[in-house]
Chain A
């Protein structure tokens, strides 16, 4: 059974289809791993083994009867706990939504289920997706499976940790400023942020509406493409949803093994100020790409340094507005207080953690009548200039390549001191969200303290095929994505 861990989703799908493996066995295998290892990793906020096994048996029964099933029928998955589901609580790792059960399913959850994926549970995250370490979860701190004293990154902390530890082969996560790509880098897994609009946001608890995008965290680019065929459907419930695309995997099958003719743009300055071990891994990866035929060209983002404050203005303003609905009236936490204004302000004081409160206060300030023009609107105008920089870069190259973080996963508590330090983790990732186009992190080696290093590719709007192709060809030439961390079971290394 242990060789299951080495198989892609497509290979597992083939085994299921040939009835060489039952869905029940596959689901039971992952449930067993969760039971053994999640006690220390703390990746899951909610697990429902019984329902998952029951669904697996149903799928096995249908298959036994000769029913034609979708190719992903019976495969396991898990969801970041901001994707609402009517069969499990959705908490956003907050006290505000503790125990909250949505009256409907997110489109992504619905599409996954209709394609036959079986959800193992909901994954921990930074509270309301605000953070880069996972530490702002109200419930628990997920650890990095490569070193339990280190953060897994954030905000998709549970997702990256669970996929790295093989407690699920795929986690559906979200990326607002790097929340898929950065933890994927910290945990040595593959994380795709599709183009804005590619995956429906309906049923995804909003952080910043013009930046949020769902995507998969997996163990390979191939698996990411496999899942995207299910996630990439147009959704009439999301006004910003793009037309359906369901040929990610088929196109990847024709990828070949050469990067000849592919121009990879390396942004000016992206290799300076990196941790030396991480830098060496990224440089080696760039050399590997060249060996595969790619041409590395220099590209320039003159406004890169402005990206972070622009991101902060936009993300926090939108967040302050999106999180206003948590007022205690319709659902979620409510302080039992007899005066309305007090009810609101105590409910929200109690329901939100400090990071969330800070961002709401900042976002509210930015949107004040007197500040709106100077901060929010100005940020949105600079955002258009950043888009122009991307457009110019994509005239010189096909994809942009570089590191996804300046250092490897840091120790718990290390960066909770200054407000600015934490935000610096977003430095390499936020520009892409501002532009709205797609990007992917793939593992490219190990750096300081033998911790994983991620390589980030960025593509143009709706250019997922080209992005996945290059990342796949690079990944196929390495075995970084096949490395599995040694996990602690009852304190014993396995």
Chain B
């Protein structure tokens, strides 16, 4: 039997997080009452004309810059024509012939090492409205809401460089991380602000020629993308292994059944009749503008990860987690500015803070503790002022109340007893009160050390620094 390799290209639609829509001034916000973020322009009323939102242009350029694309100083908006009830003008304004960005790439970290996935292009376009399909007594109808119509999108088209379902997921996740770094989109697949279509073909290993490609749509989570592509690769492999032929078509991922299904053939055949939108002049970008936008691009995850590993001696795994969101990495470095303990602060953020962040679904900066608080907490532990165990209590309290660790420690009297003189007094008292155990210890029964430590800590109402107590006991009972 032949073994096959998959050839996958992804087309990713990203909603840009502008305040207003791309060609009118309606709010682009998600989740409003149906048909309330609409105006004559985005509903395609007679006589209306598009006017481009400059912020959408800026964000599209930022995407291109972050992905290493060649920014095009001249691009053109085209009309893509087809009839569908969610498309108010019966054409979508997009960029077919002269897109705003060409080329570019991003790196993914696979088990077998880093892989570079090249991009073909990035273009700007407007979103369509939303369709709801009626059920029950409304089953004969579909319902249209134009709130989403004309929300700005960029479509990021990859080269067919992806070789597996897992790589596809990694690519998408990396893309999401970068886009969130530059704050152009919240990239929420469930809400549809990040959407992915996949072009998949397979070919015998070693074959240079591409197989017939199938387009998969309707995958609305990272996990779905991986599952759908796995399914489709298996489906195509089975067909070819049995001597069959792959038909070029568009298939929809059915998440409930875990399979892809061919769309009706009518929707497969389309002539979109692209031509430049005569209502808009070409989009021209100046060098000054591109330079200005370049300055807004922050350090991106790949280089930040490398720096974290080198500068802070973090493991690749830890660095990965910390740079996976710009906020995490910013929080981490803000804390380091206050108290430089890279390893311990990283651990506190990764184990304690991110648990809270994930539980509460909050952003790291709104989880109740500030970078300064984590810095302070680690400092308190490292100086021996409180124990690690106490640190966890203090952290929980800080998250709950928003108080600083120092305030909590002093309020609760949590500070460890580390005064050698005072500890010596308590040890003396405990030893005197238990003379026979002291004798047994001296004669070699060393397991009694724990017994004495416990008593000393109890006597100090839990405040005694266990490490010091140990030292003093050993000295006293020599």
Within 8 A of B (CB), among A205-253: 205-206, 208-210, 236-240
By the criterion CB–CB under 8 Å, are A327 and B90 in contact? Answer: yes
> B296: CB under 8 A from chain A?
no
Return 17 A-B CB contacts under 8 Å, by A number: A83-B47, A97-B46, A102-B45, A102-B46, A106-B47, A202-B48, A204-B47, A205-B46, A239-B49, A239-B50, A239-B280, A240-B280, A318-B278, A329-B144, A369-B272, A369-B273, A372-B274
A127 to chain B, nearest CB (A): 13
Q: Can you list the 8 inter-chain pairs with the closest CB atoms, starting with the nearest?
A: A324-B90, A209-B278, A367-B273, A210-B278, A203-B47, A325-B44, A205-B46, A84-B47
Closest residue of chain A to B41, judged by CB? A237
Overall SS of chain A's interface: loop
Q: How far is the CA of A324 from the CA of B51 in the complex (A)?
A: 20
By the criterion CB–CB under 8 Å, are B85 and A206 in contact? Answer: no
The contact of B46 among A92, A208, A318, A372, by CB within 8 Å, is A92
The contact of A103 among B40, B274, B281, by CB within 8 Å, is B40
Chain B residues, CB < 8 A from A82: 47
Q: How far is the CA of A331 from the CA of B47 in the complex (A)?
A: 13
By the criterion CB–CB under 8 Å, are B275 and A372 in contact? Answer: yes
By the criterion CB–CB under 8 Å, are A201 and B49 in contact? Answer: yes
> B132: CB under 8 A from chain A?
no
Chain B residues, CB < 8 A from A331: 45-46
By the criterion CB–CB under 8 Å, are A239 and B273 in contact? Answer: no
Chain B residues, CB < 8 A from A104: 40, 45
Closest residue of chain B to A343, judged by CB? B85
Size of interface on B: residues with Cβ below 8 Å to A: 31
Q: A239-B279, A340-B85, A367-B274 are in contact. List 10 more A-B contacts (CB 8 A).
A: A83-B47, A92-B46, A103-B40, A104-B45, A203-B47, A237-B51, A238-B49, A240-B280, A324-B89, A372-B273
**Chain A proximity mask over B31-53: 1 for CB below 8 Å, otherwise 0:** 00000000010011111111110
> A338: CB under 8 A from chain B?
yes
Q: How far is the CA of A159 from the CA of B408 in the complex (A)?
A: 82
Within 8 A of B (CB), among A335-376: 338, 340, 344, 364, 367-369, 372, 376
Chain B residues, CB < 8 A from A340: 85
A114 to chain B, nearest CB (A): 18
**Chain A proximity mask over B259-288: 1 for CB below 8 Å, otherwise 0:** 000000000000111110111110000000
> A155: CB under 8 A from chain B?
no
> A330: CB under 8 A from chain B?
yes
Closest residue of chain A to B82, judged by CB? A324
Chain B residues, CB < 8 A from A97: 46
By the criterion CB–CB under 8 Å, are A369 and B46 in contact? Answer: no
> B418: CB under 8 A from chain A?
no
Chain A residues, CB < 8 A from B273: 321, 364, 367-369, 372
Residues of A whose CB lies within 8 Å of any CB of B are 82-84, 90, 92, 97, 100, 102-104, 106, 201-206, 208-210, 236-240, 317-318, 321, 324-325, 327, 329-331, 338, 340, 344, 364, 367-369, 372, 376
By the criterion CB–CB under 8 Å, are A330 and B279 in contact? Answer: no
Chain B residues, CB < 8 A from A368: 271, 273
Closest residue of chain A to B43, judged by CB? A330
A85 to chain B, nearest CB (A): 10
By the criterion CB–CB under 8 Å, are B45 and A330 in contact? Answer: yes
By the criterion CB–CB under 8 Å, are B44 and A202 in contact? Answer: no
By the criterion CB–CB under 8 Å, are B81 and A321 in contact? Answer: yes
By the criterion CB–CB under 8 Å, are A239 and B51 in contact? Answer: yes
> B391: CB under 8 A from chain A?
no
Closest residue of chain A to B52, judged by CB? A239
A472 to chain B, nearest CB (A): 31
> B91: CB under 8 A from chain A?
yes
Task: Tell me whether A317 and B46 are in contact in the complex, defined as CB-CB below 8 angstroms, given that A239-B280, A325-B89 are known contacts.
Answer: no
By the criterion CB–CB under 8 Å, are B281 and A239 in contact? Answer: yes
Chain A residues, CB < 8 A from B121: none
Task: Tell me whether A240 and B40 are in contact in the complex, defined as CB-CB below 8 angstroms, given that A367-B273, A372-B274 are known contacts.
Answer: no
Chain A residues, CB < 8 A from B272: 369
Q: How far is the CA of A368 from the CA of B272 in the complex (A)?
A: 8
Within 8 A of A (CB), among B128-153: 140, 144
By the criterion CB–CB under 8 Å, are B144 and A209 in contact? Answer: no
The contact of B47 among A202, A208, A239, A324, by CB within 8 Å, is A202
Task: Tell me whether A206 and B47 are in contact in the complex, defined as CB-CB below 8 angstroms, given that A239-B279, A327-B90 are known contacts.
Answer: yes
By the criterion CB–CB under 8 Å, are B88 and A367 in contact? Answer: no
Q: How far is the CA of A103 from the CA of B44 in the complex (A)?
A: 12
A362 to chain B, nearest CB (A): 13
> B123: CB under 8 A from chain A?
no
A82 to chain B, nearest CB (A): 8
Chain A residues, CB < 8 A from B140: 338
Q: Which of B48, B85, B140, B272 has the most CB of A within 10 A?
A: B48
Q: Which of A201, A208, A239 has the most CB of B within 10 A?
A: A239
Q: How far is the CA of A236 from the CA of B54 in the complex (A)?
A: 13
Chain B residues, CB < 8 A from A106: 47
Q: How far is the CA of A103 from the CA of B273 in the complex (A)?
A: 30
Q: How far is the CA of A486 from the CA of B412 in the complex (A)?
A: 104
By the criterion CB–CB under 8 Å, are B45 and A321 in contact? Answer: no
Closest residue of chain A to B279, judged by CB? A209
By the criterion CB–CB under 8 Å, are B79 and A321 in contact? Answer: yes
Within 8 A of A (CB), among B68-101: 79, 81, 83, 85, 88-91
By the criterion CB–CB under 8 Å, are A324 and B83 in contact? Answer: yes
Q: How far is the CA of A52 from the CA of B170 in the complex (A)?
A: 67
